[in-house]
């Protein structure tokens, strides 16, 4: 029911949503995903156009380099908590933008156009399958429990023997890998990239996927990404077209803002909370036993 490019964009955005899910699952409000996406996109484009690397090698590089940058950036910045980490990681995006604008290989403020189309649907399907598998297997794993403990109470997690620095770094690095992957695939799909594509707006969009979908489960952000990508298209194509002239642009931003607000007000745990288990009040134990059973 959607055009090809919308379906492809859904897959890319779902990858980005899973990228931010990994850090949120570990309690870290990082907004570096857009920047890592930019690194993947630019590195990929340059390696394809200037170095003539085969596409598989380009993808590998566009995944690994953001991971390395994540290690360097993560070690100092993951000490920051909450909104301070968010600001610091947004700063990374600004630094990246300045670097890209001033390098010759990256085409300056104009960006790079005419990147050959190399991403096929099976690339997207495979990437998304890998990302979904990774995030699905996280729940219930030793590392997944460590992530949850850190998200709930980092201090307590530490006194339970969890190396919180290590796990936060792992979450940040895996998150960077998925973002880099999304970046390189998107660049080789839509052919043109500019420095502005990976700034504040993109960072907030990615966060919006997770907030709207809900980050209690990996399905939430993926769902949020698919819905928010589809929505403008739906509105463009139905009767509403006659009521408002729905062009992509500020209307999309406006719409995302309204949805974000509604979800935060009425569904604070996101759309996915409509489907997941609700906690029941425990019934009082029949009688409080007076002795402790031996085990």
Partner 1 sequence: MTLLRVEGLTRRFGGVVAVDDVSFTVGAGEIVGLIGPNGAGKTTVINLLTGLLRPSSGQIEFNGARLDSLTPHRIARAGVARTYQNIRLFRGLSALDNVIVGTHLRTRASFAARLAFAPAVRREEAEARETARALLARVNLGQREAARATSLPYGEQRRLEIARALAAQPELLLLDEPAAGMNPAEMDVLIALIRSLRDEGQTILLIEHNMQVVMGVCDRIVVLNFGRKIAEGTPAEISRDKDVITAYLGEEE
Which residues sit at the interface with partner 1, rule CB under 8 A?
Answer: 133-134, 137-138, 140-143, 145-146, 148-149, 151-153, 155-164, 279-282, 284-285, 288-295
Instruction: Give the Cα separation of 230 and 55 in Å (integer).
Output: 28
Of 46 and 162, CB closest to partner 1: 162
3-class secondary structure, 3: coil
Min separation Cβ 80 and partner 1, Å: 18
Phi-psi region of 214 (alpha: psi -120 to 50; beta: other; left: phi over 0): left
Q: Count CA within 13 A, CB hemisphere, residue 275.
A: 12
User: Tokens standing for 150?
Assistant: 């850190």
Instruction: Give the Cα separation of 9 and 277 in Å (integer).
Output: 30
Calculate helix-pair angle for 33-49, 55-77, nearest 10 degrees. Answer: 150
Of 245 and 287, CB closest to partner 1: 287
Of 117 and 286, CB closest to partner 1: 286
Pair 35, 89: CB distance under 8 Å: yes
Pair 39, 66: CB distance under 8 Å: yes
Min separation Cβ 167 and partner 1, Å: 10
Min separation Cβ 62 and partner 1, Å: 21
Min separation Cβ 27 and partner 1, Å: 11
Of 110 and 152, CB closest to partner 1: 152
Of 52 and 161, CB closest to partner 1: 161
Of 168 and 188, CB closest to partner 1: 168
Min separation Cβ 76 and partner 1, Å: 17
Min separation Cβ 26 and partner 1, Å: 13
Instruction: Give the Cα separation of 100 and 54 in Å (integer).
Output: 23
Min separation Cβ 284 and partner 1, Å: 8
Instruction: Give the Cα separation of 70 and 174 in Å (integer).
Output: 9
Q: Which helix (H) or strand (E) holds 184?
A: helix 164-190
Of 94 and 152, CB closest to partner 1: 152
Instruction: Give the Cα separation of 49 and 47 in Å (integer).
Output: 6
CA diameter of the chain: 77
Of 250 and 279, CB closest to partner 1: 279
Q: Count CA within 13 A, CB hemisphere, residue 179.
A: 34
Pair 17, 209: CB distance under 8 Å: yes
Min separation Cβ 74 and partner 1, Å: 17
């Amino acid at each position: 029911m959607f055009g090809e490019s919308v379906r492809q964009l859904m897959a890319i955005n779902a990858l980005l949503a899973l990228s931010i899910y990994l850090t949120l699952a570990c309690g870290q409000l990082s907004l570096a995903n857009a920047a890592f996406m930019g690194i993947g996109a630019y590195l990929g484009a340059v390696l394809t156009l200037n170095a003539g690397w085969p596409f598989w090698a380009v993808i590998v590089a566009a995944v690994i380099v953001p991971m390395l940058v994540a290690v360097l950036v993560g070690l100092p910045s993951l000490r920051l908590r909450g909104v301070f980490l968010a600001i610091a990681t947004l700063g990374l995006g600004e630094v990246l933008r300045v670097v890209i604008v001033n390098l010759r290989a990256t085409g300056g403020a104009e960006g790079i156009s005419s990147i050959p189309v190399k991403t096929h649907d099976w690339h997207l399907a495979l990437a998304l399958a890998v990302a979904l598998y990774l995030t699905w297997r996280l729940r219930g794993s030793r590392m997944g429990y460590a992530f949850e403990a850190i998200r709930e109470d980092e201090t307590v997690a530490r006194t339970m023997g969890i190396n919180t620095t290590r796990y936060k770094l792992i979450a940040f690095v895996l998150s960077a890998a998925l973002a880099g992957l999304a970046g390189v695939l998107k660049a080789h799909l839509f052919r043109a990239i500019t420095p502005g594509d990976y700034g504040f707006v993109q960072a907030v969009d990615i966060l919006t996927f997770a907030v709207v979908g809900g980050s209690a489960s990996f399905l939430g952000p993926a769902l949020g990404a698919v819905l928010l990508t589809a929505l403008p298209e739906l509105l463009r194509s139905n009767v509403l077209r006659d009521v408002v002239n729905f062009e992509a642009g500020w209307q999309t931003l406006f719409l995302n803002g309204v949805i974000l607000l509604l979800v935060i007000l009425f569904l604070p745990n996101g759309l996915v909370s409509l489907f997941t288990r609700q906690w029941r009040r425990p019934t009082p134990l029949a009688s409080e036993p007076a002795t402790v059973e031996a085990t």
